[in-house]
Structure 1
């Protein structure tokens, strides 16, 4: 739909479209009536942004107990569920001395581990450390070279810096959340209110400050927006940027293969792939040129990593009293994921209508997470923008996110030892949490797959106006009637 068509767009009102939204609205006057006007300032996008800011602020408050104890109370970080990687990595990865993450200096590498994240996160963390030092008055870091990491963790000035480092990162994460929410509001001009499901998400509230995942979330939201605007180069570039932050945005290319393959838009697909590859290469170049060995740590670390928190592999190991070699897990996981991708490909190509990118992206990322060697609580953020736009229904989102909240509480209590049976034995309650989390995700995956196979169940396509029915949204494939070319809904 071109920009000139905005005047013809009929905005979908949530309280008229979603039964749960209608029920929730009764306490504030009930569903919007047919003659209701529009507030001159509180547009849908501004409401979504305000709700996102409020939700993220509540998430910061939720981390308050750990901030107050300077993240030094090992029990409180689990009992109060306020753990974050950020203050620990400030010292543990050399940011307290403002060391470049890909420094090949022997002095640096003897003291600190290399950042085990993709380069985009390493750059961002280094930039946040630079701002932290500047706000701290640019302290002299020379004396810190003679201190051990244990001494640095106990140094009051450095501890204060680690808290400031966390706050600086949090400001950036909040901006990323606002960018993601704003972009999601603009993906489908008929349904700007769908982004409210992102704005008030418990996943955003609880998981936003654990690690740097929100950086990639903003890129994924940008991919969905750019695709909805029919901009292949920008779509590919944002996939490349997102992949430089986290690996999973790469899987969105699979969705583009299905959608543009059905439409024979091979040139657009080539442009997106080229744009993504070029962007990824440019972003990776500084880290690779600084130290190819350190740049490769992200890939080697994940290849050698064993079963870890949240994964079915960890549960299986504990349940059967065995240990799976990383090589075995790698092979089985990639075989499963390859078969899953093949299934999504067949589903997408044989569906009656071209699926939406959010639907395909959600299914692909879900398949990757189901058998991943580690499934940290914040990885739910990977699914969030895709899930919200793939199935914008309060009931289904609440079911899925209830599983995430249950797991969020369980994993911290498990790490704190609070779920251990009184008589000894394995933590069955933690296994239950992992199982319920995966069951909730599979439920949403089944619903999304049903919407693809039976498009009449897809709420994004339901209730379109006459003009949109005539244009066959999404665009007709070659050989089929089309009275107007419009981008796919995402």
Structure 2
């Protein structure tokens, strides 16, 4: 077993693993020297690395609230919600879902979101409506509703940063990638995604603390808010198979399933049609902006002559949504099979953060819907999977470029084009490519664990393995040898005996 570091003293990025930070440190005299007095060595220091990261998270979220302020009144004249980049579903759906009229989600109106999101909308929206109609009719209900949501979602974002810090005690500055991200600034309150993110983060923390049932409970709550936390069970299963310890995974899976079923049951039983709306909407939804399929459809139009019946494959799929659904499921399924093979054949068990990032990224790449705020799903996961600033910054630039191009496209949808369609497709392609590059870099570090900076800080082990930490099951090595991976040279220690050659006549 690899030796663990003798101390939990935090790493300093400029002096250890991050080439980007090390390069920037040249402007202030270079990396911290081996004999320098470390900032964390000073006793009774209030501004420790974790407190600084949490303070930075709060600062960015406060700036995000300011950035959304032009839209808070709900008076969206002359496309102000797009020209100021302040659009938010939270405010728009307060009116679209009937909350401003006191409609109870699922009972009086078929909400298009999973039930935990609908419960949350009602829990904040109905008191605001009651106060605005019974106590103080002068208030702007939409503004109050947005501010209440922004406060809770921001608290969940801070909790997510706290979980990252708790999972990376030796690498607290990794969490600054999350805290300082421009995508957090511009998308934190676009929708209710931090409900799922916050629940999933707590679930991962409880898994690391060896509480698989409670981890499953929070993953189930997250999956009942947005679907993607359910995918984390896949990486956990791969790691459970590799370790030969299935019971913790079964406990987590049961906790997830039972929790999801319990919170869904009231709506499923008493308002079944309203419960089905989310699933029906996603099955009939057309190709969305900026997806792989949107890009392909645009390229079809450029490459084909336009003659009658001369359709490219992406255009054909866009016109046949049921078939496109099956294609997206198949592609995502193939991606999951790839992760199973990678997880079982890699030299060391992949880290949970690596596989979790890959499975969610594969889902987004193959999906027909990739909303602007879905970038938040990947942000904490890439911090856990590959906390290197350079590649993350390149991806962030692409995401912000897409964000701006998307709003320009929405303005143009009103009849006055702002940018050429090709520019939007280019921005969409760069977002797709940078996510794919991040996936490739994570896969590379799974296959070559010596390149993994997190393993380096934790003595070669996975700090997120929780109840699955420990050696591989015996069959894993035989499986790797059967695929010709990691097989020692015959005659060396640990090599399997030479197999006799049988000649059939």
Match of 1:145 in 2: none
Question: How big is each residue's C-alpha offset from its partner over 1:314-354, in whole Å with a ceiling of 9 and x where there is no partner?
Answer: 23334435442220210110011111110011011101111
Match of 1:253 in 2: 233
Alignment of 1:50-199 (within 5 A): 50-67=55-72, 70-103=74-107, 108-109=108-109, 114-133=110-129, 136=132, 138=134, 160-199=140-179
8 Å contact kept, 2:346–2:447? yes
Alignment of 1:389-404 (within 5 A): 389-404=384-399
C-alpha separation in 1, matches of 2:51 and 2:389: 20
Q: 1:379 aligns with which of 368, 374, 378?
A: 374
8 Å contact kept, 1:71–1:77? no
Match of 2:21 in 1: 21
Are 2:334 and 1:343 aligned?
no
Structure 1 unaligned residues grouped into runs of 5+: 141-155, 481-490
C-alpha separation in 2, matches of 1:198 and 1:192: 11
Report SS of the residue matched to 1:414.
Answer: helix
Question: How big is each residue's C-alpha offset from its partner over 1:426-485, in whole Å with a ceiling of 9 and x where there is no partner?
Answer: 61111101100000101100000001111011110124459999x9x95222359xxxxx
Instruction: Show structure 1 runs of 4+ deviating over 4 A.
Output: 25-33, 418-422, 463-469
* Cα RMSD for the two superposed structures: 2.8
Match of 1:244 in 2: 224
C-alpha separation in 2, matches of 1:217 and 1:402: 22
Give the Å deviation of 1:359: 0.5
C-alpha separation in 2, matches of 1:15 and 1:23: 8
Are 2:378 and 1:369 aligned?
no
8 Å contact kept, 2:455–2:462? no
Report SS of the residue matched to 2:205.
Answer: helix
8 Å contact kept, 2:5–2:458? no
Match of 2:328 in 1: 333
Report SS of the residue matched to 1:462.
Answer: helix
Give the Å deviation of 1:134: 5.5
C-alpha separation in 2, matches of 1:195 and 1:71: 37
Report SS of the residue matched to 1:75.
Answer: helix
8 Å contact kept, 1:419–1:429? no
Give the Å deviation of 1:35: 2.1
- The TM-score normalised by the length of structure 1 is 0.85
Are 2:4 and 1:9 aligned?
no
C-alpha separation in 1, matches of 2:93 and 2:335: 35
C-alpha separation in 1, matches of 2:420 and 2:435: 25
Q: 1:431 aligns with which of 404, 425, 428?
A: 425
Judged with a 3 Å threshold, the aligned counterparts in structure 2 of structure 1 residues 262 and 192 are, in CA distance, closer, same or farther, namely same
Are 2:405 and 1:410 aligned?
yes
Judged with a 3 Å threshold, the aligned counterparts in structure 2 of structure 1 residues 7 and 225 are, in CA distance, closer, same or farther, namely farther
Question: How big is each residue's C-alpha offset from its partner over 1:254-301, in whole Å with a ceiling of 9 and x where there is no partner?
Answer: 100111110111111111111111111121123223301101111111
C-alpha separation in 2, matches of 1:287 and 1:41: 48
